[in-house]
Amino acid sequence: MQITKEQLALVNDRIRALVASGSFYGKKLKEAGIDHVDSPEDFVKLPFSEKSDLRDAYPLGLMTAPEDRIVRIHSSSGTTGKPVIIPYTAKDVEDWSIMFERCYRMAGLTNMDRIQITPGYGLWTAGIGFQAGAERLGAMVIPMGPGNTEKQLTMMQDMKSTVLCSTSSYALLLAEEIEKRGIKQNIHLRKGIIGSERWGEKMRTYISEKLGIELYDIYGLTEIYGPGIGINCEHNTGMHYWDDYLYLEIVDPATGEPVPDGEMGEIVITTLVKEGAPLIRYRTHDLSRIIPGECKCGSRFPRIGTVMGRTDDMMKIKGVNVFPAQIEEILKEFPELSSEYQIRISHLEGKDTMRIYVETNGTVDFLKLASDVSKRVKERIGFTPLVKVVEIGVLPRSEKKTKRVIDERYD
């Protein structure tokens, strides 16, 4: 989706602010001799920004507005090394709550909802973002924060919470506890707003059925405001995102080149109006795609697909980028297959080859099934894998996350 004139004007405004402030990215742009972009072609030549840059700017190198206008910081904790510190102005905080309120409205929430918030408060952006959006909506907030399941369930019943905000794993835990205690009839939840970790359809259905609620995926990352920059609508055809605040590109993670709409790649985000720490072409390493066309809900906001994993999972076969999630998606379309599979990539006679091992029971024609799966992969992804069908139970299973992709090319 090409950047529009209006969005370009906003980007130029952000470039000017960055350069004028002499902040971390301001200096980088100045050194590269960039003070504005004229066209979409110019825009895609702008350098990317990376999480490692943000770490290098620790503690306050990203600060682009004068300090008297900074009202808050948030921080994303890296698993290793220095955290990233993101400064916010009052306008940034307000913009974020506006986006979050839109998310709630998109999910059909009103000022009569009672929203139980279980993500954490503090340096992390989650809890406070859920809260600010809910207050803006005029709903009643029950600001629980994480953990203490006993108290969560008591409040959920006594306050008659109608909306649960949580991670998918915590929603699952609550669903199981409610089932175990037989207290379903005391629960008044109608919707769940779930922070978009990657979660399977099975888990989604389980939570939705056990709690009797509709589930919505909310997207966001601390570097870009926090959660609340996109959410799916009732039609569940991807997440609408707020293109008046953000410009999203999908690029080939290997080359950095934009991919056509509809194709899978890495989400790259440019903040259009952020003041405290504007980011230009920030690489999220999240995999998704632009969903072309208009949504049945009639919203004018564009959509991205559910996040399908991280770019680190990418494989390159015969010049085509492939992600395990794409293969998994295709395999799910064959009801005769079990949920186990294994992908092996090898280099045979000068060619990259992908073998996909799948399982089925003995009642189907193995050869025909293999050929059908192989054809479907060719249609969707663009290369022909070797598909091997085996009996159910043959593929390795383990308690831990089973290693499903084995790349033998670099052994």
Instruction: Quote the least distance from Cβ 106 to Zn ion, whole Å.
Output: 7
Between 62 and 295, CB nearer to Zn ion: 295
Strand partners, 399: none
CA 174 to chain centre: 23
Among 44, 60, 93, 297, binds Zn ion (CB under 5 A): 297
CB of 60 to Zn ion, least distance (A): 39
**Three-state secondary-structure class, residue 208:** helix
Residues 216-255 as x/- pattern, contact with Zn ion by CB under 5 A: -----------------x----------------------
Output 57 or 239, the one with its CB closest to Zn ion: 239
Instruction: Find the shortest distance in angstroms from Cβ 160 to Zn ion.
Output: 29
Q: How far is the CB of 295 from Zn ion (least distance, A)?
A: 3
The CA–CA distances, whole Å, from 331 to 338, 369, 391, 405 equal 9, 11, 16, 14
For Zn ion, the closer of residues 12 and 237 by Cβ is: 237
CB of 234 to Zn ion, least distance (A): 7
Type of residue found at 404: R
Tell me how far, at minimum, the Cβ of 246 lies from Zn ion, in Å: 17
> Residue 282 half-sphere exposure, CB side, CA atoms within 13 Å?
22
Angle between helices 168-181 and 201-211 (to 10 degrees): 40
The least distance separating Zn ion from the CB of residue 303, rounded to whole angstroms, comes to 7
Q: What are phi and psi of 304, to 5 degrees?
A: -115, 155
The 10 Å CB-count burial string (b at 16+, else e) for 258-269 is bbeeeebbbbbb
Size of the site for Zn ion (CB under 5 A): 4
- As a whole number of angstroms, the distance between CA 193 and CA 164 comes to 6
Listed ranges 28-36, 73-81, 199-207, 294-302: which one lies at the site for Zn ion (CB under 5 A): 294-302
Residue 290 and residue 303 in contact, taking contact as beta carbons nearer than 8 Å: yes
Residue 299 or 384 having the CB closest to Zn ion? 299
Residue 6 to residues 270, 271, 272, 278, 290: CA-CA distances in angstroms? Answer: 14, 13, 10, 17, 20
Report d(CA 335, CA 243) in Å as an integer: 38
Which part of the chain contacts Zn ion (CB under 5 A), choosing from 17-25, 40-48, 293-301, 343-351?
Answer: 293-301
The least distance separating Zn ion from the CB of residue 235, rounded to whole angstroms, comes to 5
Q: Which stretch binds Zn ion (CB under 5 A): 81-89, 242-250, 299-307, 321-329?
A: 299-307
Q: Is 295 in the site for Zn ion (CB under 5 A)?
A: yes
Q: Residue 328 is inside which H or E element, if any?
A: helix 324-332
**Would you say 66 or 293 has its CB closer to Zn ion?**
293
Cis previous bond, 83, omega within 30: no
| Binding segment toward Zn ion, per CB under 5 A, in 4-12, 85-93, 277-285, 295-303 | 295-303
Binding site for Zn ion (CB under 5 A): 233, 295, 297, 299
